Amino acid sequence: MNNENGNSNLDETHGENQSPESLLRPTMSPLSAAFFGLAAVFILYQIVGSLLTLAIFGMDIENADVNAMRLMTMGGQVLFILLPALFFAKLIYEDVTTIIRVKLPGIKEVAIFTLGLIILTPLLQEYLYIQNYIIEKMAEASPFIQQIKDFLNEIDKLLEQTYGSLLKAESVYEGVLIILVVAAAPAVCEEVFFRGYVQKSFELRYKPFWAALITALFFGLYHFNPYGLIPLIMLGLFIGYSAYMSNSIFVPMILHFLNNFIAAIAYFILGDQELMDSKVVDMANVENHIFNFVILAVVFLSLIYFVNNYYHFFAKSKRRQV
C-alpha cells in the first residue's frame, strides 16, 4: 500500500527515518519548493553566473587565465548551487539534516552502489553507440534530421571547447585543481541540491521512483549535453535510487565524484577520446554493441534486484529487533 505522500512500501527499508520526515512542517508545498529551487538555481548558476563571468573576464573568455576560470567555476558551484540548496532547505523545512539526508552510509552500501556504477558506465557507453548509429542513419535518410544533427553538433563542439580548456593539465597542481573543479565540487554541490533538496521535496508528494526520475530529468537537462542527455538522465536516476535506498547523501556524492573523476582521468590519458564519448558512431560493429548492451543491462538489472532484496531483508531484520 502507498502512504498519503505517495511513497511505496519501499519506505520500510529506512523506516527509522520516517519520524523526522513526518514532523516536517514546510512553509510551502514540497512540490512548489522543488520547482522554486530548480528555477532559482538555474537563474543563479546559468544566468547570473554567466554574467558575473563576463563582468570579470570580459568577452575574450578563450584567452582568460584558465586557473582563474577553474576557481570561478568551483566558486559558482558553491555560491549558486550548494548555498541556495541549504538556504531553501532551512527556510522551507527548517530540518536541513532530514531534507539533505545527512547520514553516514555503511561500507557495504557504498560498495554495492559503486559496483552498480561500474556496470552502468559501459552500459551507457554501449547505449551511446547504438543511439548515435540510429541518429546517423536517420540523418542520412532525412535532410531535416541532418539539419537538427548539425545544430546539435555545434552545441556539442562548443561544450567540448569549454570543458576541454578546463581539463588540460600542465602540472600536478593543475591536475589536483581540475579534480576539485570537475569531480569534488559538483559531487558535493549538485548532490546536496538535486538528490538532497529537490528529490526529497518530490518524495514528499510522489512515489520514490517518480521523485527520482523527475529529479534525474532536470539533472540531465541542467548539463546541456545534447547527445548525452539520456545517459545523464539514467545516471541521475541510478544516483537518485542510491540516495533513496541508503537515505544518505554521501552515497550519491561518492558515485558522482567517482563518475567525474574517472572521466577526468580518462581525459588526462586519452585526450579528446574520452571514456564516455557522446558523439562517436561505430557503423561497423553495431551488432556487437547491441549484444554488449543487452548483456550489461541484464547484469545491471540483476544487481538492482539484489539491492532491493538486500534492503528488504535489512528492514525485516530491523523490525524483528524491535
CA dist 126 → 99, 100, 137 (Å): 35, 33, 17
Q: What is the pLDDT of residue 17?
A: 42
How do residues 25-66 score in pLDDT, each as one tens digit? 899 999 999 999 999 999 999 999 989 988 888 877 777 788
Q: What is the pLDDT of residue 315?
A: 67
Q: What is the pLDDT of residue 3?
A: 41
Q: What is the pLDDT of residue 20?
A: 62
Q: What is the pLDDT of residue 259?
A: 96
Neighbours of 228 (CB within 10 A): 21
Q: What is the pLDDT of residue 11?
A: 41
Question: Is the CB of residue 248 less than 8 Å from the CB of residue 103?
Answer: yes
How do residues 116-133 score in pLDDT, each as one tens digit? 999 999 999 999 999 999
Give the three cell numbers for residue 28: 510551502
The closest alpha carbon to 278, from 109, 155, 116, 144, belongs to: 155
Residues of the chain below pLDDT 70:
1-22, 271-283, 315-322
Q: What is the pLDDT of residue 35?
A: 97
CA dist 146 → 45, 138, 155, 226 (Å): 32, 8, 14, 15
